[in-house]
Structure 1
Amino acid sequence: MANLESHNGYYLWQYIPSIPAAILFSILFGIITVLHLWRMFRSRTWYCIAFATGGIFEFIGYVGRIFAHDRTGAIMPYVIQSVFILLAPALFAASMYMVLGRIIRCVRGEKYSIIRVSWLAKIFVGGDVFSFLIQAGGAGILVKGDSDAKTGENIIVGGLIVQVIMFGLFALSAIVFEVRMHRHAMASLYNSKVPWKETLHMLYYASLAIMVRSIVRVIQYIMGQGGYLLKKEWPLYVFDGLLMFITMVIFYRTYPSEVNPKKVIMPENQDATIGMESRQRSYPQC
């Protein structure tokens, strides 16, 4: 029977990790990650490699929890599950940020974006990488032991806050873009072969799931090692594992393979339509 063991006098775990739960989520993330990899290679959507890598991170993280069940005093299984599960959403976000830029270019809606499209991916992906590095650094300090735990938690909180802020700005940019597209009657110029609205809505739902997860994580680390969210196992599976699995399912169902600016065929008379609109009406700015 497994027992809680200390590592140099410090208890890494507040509970004994559940093997059935870890196996279940390892299988779920393994299956959905394989599907993502298959779809990415089939459609040659190479910019989604970060998203698929996030799925691999999730799979490795939950496998780490399986090995941690009988080794609660061992540092390596704890580090693997902690770091890989913590950082996976940042990889999901990187691909999602690039999808928005491709949507905007695909529908020739650059002038309706509140951020210049050439800078959009750079700003959000750059912020995401920054958040990733902060969280990775905090996780590295956290797993060293009791004396460094609080410092590691504070650094992770800082990285998660950066992630939440970037997601908030990302959601605002996407919403304003869609509103402007409809207000300027541009949406009707593109046929159903370019599912830009469905893809944009997919980004909303996936972003919401990651946002909720990140906010719960912030609360978790603010509460500290003695807090309820770290002392119990179920919040990890409900507010992290389940939400991230849902994110991967949402992204897979509306995969952005068709949102490719190089393959878009401009609708007939689009230039004339746009020119007529610019002569007849003056549109307010959002």
Structure 2
Amino acid sequence: MSATVPGILTTPTVVTFVIPGIETLTTTLPSGYNYESATSAFASLTSKLAAAATATATSSNSHRLANSVWPYVPSFPVALIAVILYALVTALLIARMFQYKAWWFVALILGGIMETLGFGARARNTQDLNNESLYKMQLCCTILAPIFTAAAEYILLGRIMGYVGRRFSLLRPGLISWIFIISDAVSFLIQVGGAAALLARPDLNSQSTPSQIQRAQNLLNLGDNVLLAGLAVNLASFVIFVLQVRSYSIPCANTHPRQVTYFDYKTRTQCAITGPWRTLLYALYVSTVLVLIRQVYRVIEFSQGWFGFLPTHEGYFYGLDSLVILLASAVYIWYWPDKYIPGDRHMRLGENGTEWREMTKRERKAQALEEAGRKASSGEVSVREVKDGDLE
């Protein structure tokens, strides 16, 4: 570019103007054009346009939030991805369940179905932020679904311990499932009560009276506190479960202290027969750690109130809740329990490595009655009674 007078173009010149956040413009300025004054005016105009565009976008988001129950604008693409992933994982788990006829592990499936429904409602809610029904549905599903995932973990640990040997367990394997499931049920009912308080919150609008607004706020606080109590009970129960299953440091004879679980330690030091079941135990380790991360996150989140740091940042919800529960469930696509332990819960692993089946109470009773009937018909019972009397 050449000019005899400062700022005046002597030849046609191609120039580019950038409007931040809006568009990039390219044009050709003719000869004789006052370049300096034109570009100065254009720069002033574009900065005003950019500021106006930013203000409009901010105002639009603020308007959307002002008329919704969300503390942030939720992401539709991320919610849609969550729906697809949960639906896929749940479908694969259902296929596994039917493949092995493992109906006892259905709690894991129920959790996946609830998560899928919850994120489906969330994805739809991102397109209609004023729809409180969708908001309440996604909130209840994503809060309550992991309870079923945890219940599946409890049942699985009881199955593994029952198969390997009761002598390696702090508690009788049959009790483990029931103790923690009852605890989960109590937690579930408390959380349902909290969710009910949130669902009872009346819809507010510009015509709402101060008393209606105050009542809505009271129900919101009540629901938040009750949910926090339910989550705390759930966390306490799961921590106790983790202490039963998860690792802690125990010094073993002639070895360095190592990280083992009580059950793992007992089976290693008391000559338990190893086998595929230990692989399943390690899969359970991974899954329970993931569930524990979610439990801790939710308690901290609700303890911060409805508009705290965690509740108002969507990324933490997906990273510390949705993703970890998805992975905790997906673990069993590859490590389905029936691939590593028998599906029959009465099968036992003998000390010599052979499997045998323990009779149920009904089977033992039937066998005893059959034996008694046989002996009575042959006269063995009376003869034995006489001999026993003689011996005494």
Do both share a fold (TM > 0.5)? yes
2:234 to 163, 166, 174: 163
Q: Is the 8 A contact 1:131 1:163 kept in 2?
A: yes
Q: CA deviation at 1:105?
A: 1.2
Q: Which amino acid aligns with 2:263?
A: F
- Deviation of the 1:268 alpha carbon: 4.2
What does 1:251-270 correspond to in 2, within 5 Å?
251-258=332-339, 259-260=341-342, 261-264=345-348, 266=350, 268=352
Q: Secondary structure at the match of 1:115?
A: coil
1:5–1:71 CA contact under 8 A, matched in 2: no
Change (3 A) 1:16 1:266: same
Which structure: greater strand fraction?
2
1:140 is aligned to: 196
In 2, Cα distance between equivalents of 1:269 and 1:207: 28
- The count of corresponding residues between Structure 1 and Structure 2 is 262
Q: For residues 63-142 of structure 1, what are the structure 2 equivalents within 5 Å?
A: 63-107=120-164, 109-142=165-198
Matched residue type, 1:74: N
1:153 is the counterpart of 2:153: no
2:300 aligns to what?
Answer: 219
Counterpart-to-counterpart distance in 2, 1:210 and 1:177: 20
Query: Is the partner of 2:127 in helix, strand or coil?
Result: coil
Displacement after TM superposition at 1:215 (Å): 0.8
1:206 and 2:287 matched: yes
User: Is 1:233 aligned with 2:314?
Assistant: yes
Tell me, in whole angstroms, the C-alpha distance in 1 between the residues paired with 2:122 and 2:159.
37
C-alpha displacement of 1:82: 0.2
Q: How far is 1:224 from its partner?
A: 0.8
- Deviation string, structure 1 residues 225-248 (Cα, Å, up to 9, x no partner): 220111121111111111111111
Superposed CA offset, 1:115-134 (max 9, x none): 12231111011111111121
TM normalised by structure 2 equals 0.63
Given that 2:65 and 2:73 are in contact with CA atoms closer than 8 Å, whether structure 1 keeps it comes out as no
Question: Secondary structure, in 3 states, of the residue corresponding to 1:4?
Answer: helix
Match of 1:17, SS?
coil
Q: What amino acid is the match of 1:244? A: I
Structure holding more helix per residue: 1
Residue deviations 1:16-58 (CA, integer Å, cap 9, x gap): 2211011000000000000000001110111111101100111
Residue deviations 1:143-167 (CA, integer Å, cap 9, x gap): 3243211111111111111111111
1-structure distance, mates of 2:323, 2:262: 29
Match of 2:267 in 1: 181
Decide which of 61, 64, 73 is 1:4's aligned counterpart: 64
* 1:246 aligns to 2:327 (yes or no): yes
CA contact (8 A) 1:142 1:149 kept: yes
Identity %: 29
Q: Give 2:271's aligned amino acid.
A: A
Shift of 1:263: 4.7
Partners of 2:352 and 2:148 lie apart in 1 by: 38
- Residue 269 of structure 1 and its aligned partner are, at CA, apart by 7.8
Q: Write out the 4+ residue segments of structure 1 that deviate beyond 3 Å after TM superposition.
A: 261-270
Q: Which runs of 5+ in 2 are unaligned?
A: 1-59, 202-215, 246-260, 355-392
Whichever of the two has the greater Rg, that structure is 2
The one-letter code of the counterpart of 1:22 is: A
| Distance across 1 between alignment mates of 2:150 and 2:94 | 17
Match of 1:31 among 70, 84, 88: 88
Q: 1:222: Cα distance to partner?
A: 0.8
Letter in 2 for 1:149: L
Shift of 1:88: 1.0
Instruction: Assess if the C-alpha contact under 8 Å between 1:6 and 1:73 holds in 2.
Output: no
Quick one: which of 73, 81, 85 aligns to 1:16? 73
Matches of 1:96 and 1:26, distance apart in 2: 23
Q: 1:269 to 1:208 in 2, by over 3 A?
A: closer
- Counterpart CA distance in 2 for 1:165 and 1:253 is 29
* Aligned partner letter, 1:131: S
- State the match for 1:276 in structure 2: none
Q: For 1:185, what is the secondary structure of its paired residue?
A: coil
Distance, in Å, in 2 between the alignment partners of 1:267 and 1:179 is: 17
Partners in 2 of 1:239 and 1:41 — Cα distance?
Answer: 30
Higher relative contact order (CA 8 A, sep 6+): 1
List per-residue Cα deviations over 1:86-111 (Å, max 9, x = no partner).
Answer: 1111000111101111101111x212
Structure 1: 5+ residue runs without aligned partners?
Answer: 271-286
